[in-house]
């Protein structure tokens, strides 16, 4: 998904009313292209009348990576926690200290998946429509007995060999084959051996739900 400032304004307002009693003034909202941070809360410290005050409070979200709308909402809530702690002048033990983690846990009990840091294994650069997958990709979805989930775009010439290897592996709980044009696979190599990219359970469910099942 590609976000913009209007999207941020809409969801900041909704989250402010729902989770922060509507007490947060809307900060500057920006969309950037950071490769190192999915989101950032920042401000400027200026000296006025002999004392330091904070101005230009800003929340920035990066659209460099290909994230779902739900993931962007989690990142926005993460930055809003930083903002509310700063705005209400609470003193936390660290940037992600006791107060931050308590607020994060409360929101996660509401069904969110806010994290201190985002697991990087499935972060892929966003693909512009011009670079989206034009030809279908053959994909194998792998579930291991240890609970891990893997996705892999497969070279069709090696599909039967890979299927045999996976079926013979004691570590593999199940495999399923799909065909897709999803842009998430645009930058992925089409493998010639039994391997895949480890992804989170939610991402695995979302991807397999929208791909087309395939049988040899």
pLDDT at residue 64 is higher than 90? no
pLDDT at position 54 is 87
Q: Which pLDDT score is estimated for 144?
A: 96
pLDDT-derived band at 53, boundaries 50, 70, 90? confident
Q: What is the mean pLDDT of residues 98-111?
A: 96
Q: Which structural domain range is residue 204 located in?
A: 129-213
Q: Taking the alpha carbons of 199, 203, 205, 211 in that order, is the dihedral positive or negative?
A: negative
92 and 48 housed in the same domain: yes
- Specify the residue for token string 């941020």: 8
Q: SS3 for 189? A: coil
Q: Which pair of tokens denotes residue 34?
A: 């950071």
Residue 61 domain flag: yes
pLDDT in tens, 4-16: 999 999 999 999 9
pTM flag (> 0.75): no
Q: For residues 20 and 70, state if they share a domain.
A: yes
Helix (H) or strand (E) holding 60: strand 51-62
The answer, yes or no, to whether residue 131 has pLDDT greater than 70, is no
The answer to whether residues 20 and 87 belong to one domain is yes
Q: Can you give the CATH number for the domain in which 77 is found?
A: 3.30.2010.10
Q: Please choose, from the candidates 125, 132, 130, the residue with its C-alpha nearest in 3D space to the C-alpha of residue 62.
A: 125
In a domain, 134, yes or no: yes
Q: Helix (H, G, I), strand (E, B), or coil: what is residue 72?
A: helix
Do 16 and 100 lie in a common domain? yes
How many distinct structural domains can be found in the chain? 2
In sequence order, the 6+-apart residues with CB closer than 8 A to the CB of 94 are: none
What pLDDT sits at residue 128? 55
């Amino acid at each position: 998904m590609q976000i913009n400032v209007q999207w941020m304004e809409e969801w900041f307002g909704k989250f402010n009313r729902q989770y922060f009693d509507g007490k947060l003034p809307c900060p500057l909202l920006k969309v950037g292209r950071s490769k190192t941070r999915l989101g950032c809360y920042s401000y400027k410290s200026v000296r006025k009348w002999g004392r330091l005050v904070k101005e230009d409070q800003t929340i920035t979200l990066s659209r460099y990576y290909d994230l779902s709308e739900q993931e962007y909402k989690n990142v926005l809530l993460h930055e809003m926690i930083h903002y509310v702690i700063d705005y209400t002048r609470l003193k936390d033990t660290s940037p992600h200290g006791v107060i931050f983690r308590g607020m994060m846990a409360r929101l996660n009990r509401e069904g969110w998946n806010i994290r201190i840091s985002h697991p990087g294994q499935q972060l892929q650069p966003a693909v512009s429509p011009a670079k989206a997958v034009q030809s279908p990709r053959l994909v194998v979805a792998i579930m291991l007995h240890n609970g891990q989930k893997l996705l892999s775009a497969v070279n069709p010439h090696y599909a039967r060999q890979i299927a045999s290897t996976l079926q013979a592996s004691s570590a593999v709980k199940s495999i399923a084959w799909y065909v897709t044009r999803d842009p998430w696979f645009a930058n992925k190599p089409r493998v010639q051996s039994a391997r895949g990219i480890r992804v989170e359970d939610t991402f695995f469910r979302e991807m397999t739900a929208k791909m087309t099942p395939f049988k040899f």
